[in-house]
Amino acid sequence: MLTRIQQKLLADHRLQEIHAKVESESRLTEEDAMRLYEVRDLNALAFLASIPRERKNGNKAYYILNRHINYSNLCILSCQFCSFAKKKRDAEAYEFTIEEMVGKATSALGMGITEIHMVGGLHPSWKFDHYEALLRALKKIDPRLHLKTFTAIEILHLAWMGKLNVAETLEQLHAAGLDSLTGGGAEIFSQRVRDQICRGKETAEEWLDVHRTWHRMGGRSTCTMLYGHVETIAERVDHLKRLRALQDETRGFTAFIPLPFHAENNKLSHIPEPTGFENLRNLAIARLYLDNFDHIKCYWINHSLKLAQISLSHGVDDLDGTVLEEKIYHMAGAKTPQEQTASELVKAIREAGRIPVQRDSLYNEIARPKDEKPAAAPDETTLSPGHNPATESNLATA
């Protein structure tokens, strides 16, 4: 039974039709997704997106204790949207030695991390065996440490360096310590867009094939979409459609992570960055359309922790983790901190009326705060099940 407020939110008959599909767990079409992108009422989207979020994850919101390592920003590519990649002659160019990366991981392990998230540029001179040695050195610190490393384009680069096919590359990296793949580099799958923002990078088919191959080997990965630059809404929906199709085929994706474009220090700096409204709308639509994904993540590094709190009432169930050090988005102008403590993440989740759950890389539950109590049941004045007590204050200051 809908409350009076919920009935008002669904006054548009087109939303009533989508609501009926969501309630009956019927799959949304591309036309439905396009229709949702026309909606200007975030409260309506929040209400709709909270239905599958609650169905899949109850009132839980996840976080992980992790450490990011961007091992080098030297890159043979020159993607137009990228502020991270540098050439050897550039003042901001850097590369960490294996010993330095082991030191970073060892220090973070003392803080309780369970995952290393490691990506970097396509290094012009490192050989394949360097990456194998790096993985073995990190795994030697603690074999239980989950190594979530490399994007699809890095895997293709390593395959070329090692004169191997994709499956052989993944098999050898897995033997050295690779546990799961990161989802970066997907950008927007439309070739029209890729020709404008990342000429020379892998095609959509190549990105999907790397993840398909890894999933068929029993591996898991995340996936992303970089939005808010030159793509159309139809191209966003096409991107989601292709991810949903691969997930139907392999069930190998753990989470979807929409990434808003950051405009500083790159060749697309003239393009306005996505607004908070657009970010929340995009997250909510992803939750509604990607019915075969268990988790939608709001990467707080991109959005700020305050907007990430609000996203918990827009279909999101995961805020990522402690991070500890992040370079890619900060070199593109991100003003967020480069780390969060576990206590800050727990506080943010609680303030949003959710139950904080520490997870591992595959969403197995590690712990809940010992004093955690179930959230109070919302009454008819809320937007149940999407109500977020932190929303009102955060909208004023995010």
Q: Quote the pLDDT of residue 336.
A: 43
- At 89, which CATH number? 3.20.20.70
Tell me, yes or no, whether 30 and 155 share the same domain. Answer: no
Tell me, yes or no, whether 42 and 68 share the same domain. Answer: no
Q: Quote the pLDDT of residue 368.
A: 79
User: 222 in a domain, yes or no?
Assistant: yes
Return the H-helix or E-strand segment holding 204.
helix 204-216
User: 324 in a domain, yes or no?
Assistant: yes
Q: Quote the pLDDT of residue 380.
A: 34
Q: Quote the pLDDT of residue 111.
A: 86
Q: Quote the pLDDT of residue 372.
A: 55
**Hey, is 80 helix, strand or coil?**
coil
User: 20 in a domain, yes or no?
Assistant: yes
Place of tokens 């990366």: 101
3-state DSSP helix/strand/coil % of the chain, to nearest 5: 40, 15, 45
Per-residue three-class SS string for 243-292: HHHHHHHHCCEEEEEEEECCCCCCCCCCCCCCCHHHHHHHHHHHHHHCCC
Q: DSSP state, 148?
A: E
Q: Quote the pLDDT of residue 6.
A: 84
Tell me, yes or no, whether 289 and 236 share the same domain. Answer: yes
pLDDT in tens, 189-229: 999 999 999 888 899 999 999 999 999 999 999 999 999 99
**Which regions of the chain are under pLDDT 50?**
326-338, 374-386, 390-398
Tell me, yes or no, whether 220 and 248 share the same domain. Answer: yes
Q: Quote the pLDDT of residue 367.
A: 82
C-alpha distance across the termini of the chain, in Å:
33
Tell me, yes or no, whether 121 and 9 share the same domain. Answer: no
User: 349 in a domain, yes or no?
Assistant: yes
Q: Quote the pLDDT of residue 99.
A: 97
User: 394 in a domain, yes or no?
Assistant: no
Tell me, yes or no, whether 99 and 177 share the same domain. Answer: yes
Tell me, yes or no, whether 149 and 37 share the same domain. Answer: no
Q: Which two tokens stand for residue 373?
A: 């109590």
Tell me, yes or no, whether 37 and 83 share the same domain. Answer: no
Q: Quote the pLDDT of residue 382.
A: 37
Tell me, yes or no, whether 23 and 172 share the same domain. Answer: no
pLDDT in tens, 48-107: 999 999 999 999 999 999 999 999 999 987 777 777 668 888 888 999 999 999 999 999
Q: Note down the domain range covering 362.
A: 58-370
| Total domain count, the chain | 2
Residue 13 CA to residue 15 CA, distance in Å, equals: 5
Tell me, yes or no, whether 148 and 36 share the same domain. Answer: no
User: 376 in a domain, yes or no?
Assistant: no
User: 393 in a domain, yes or no?
Assistant: no
Per DSSP, which regions of the chain are E strands? Answer: 60-64, 66-70, 115-119, 146-149, 180-181, 220-227, 253-260, 318-321, 355-359, 365-367
Q: Quote the pLDDT of residue 371.
A: 55
Tell me, yes or no, whether 334 and 193 share the same domain. Answer: yes
Tell me, yes or no, whether 125 and 18 share the same domain. Answer: no
Q: Which two tokens stand for residue 183?
A: 């989802």
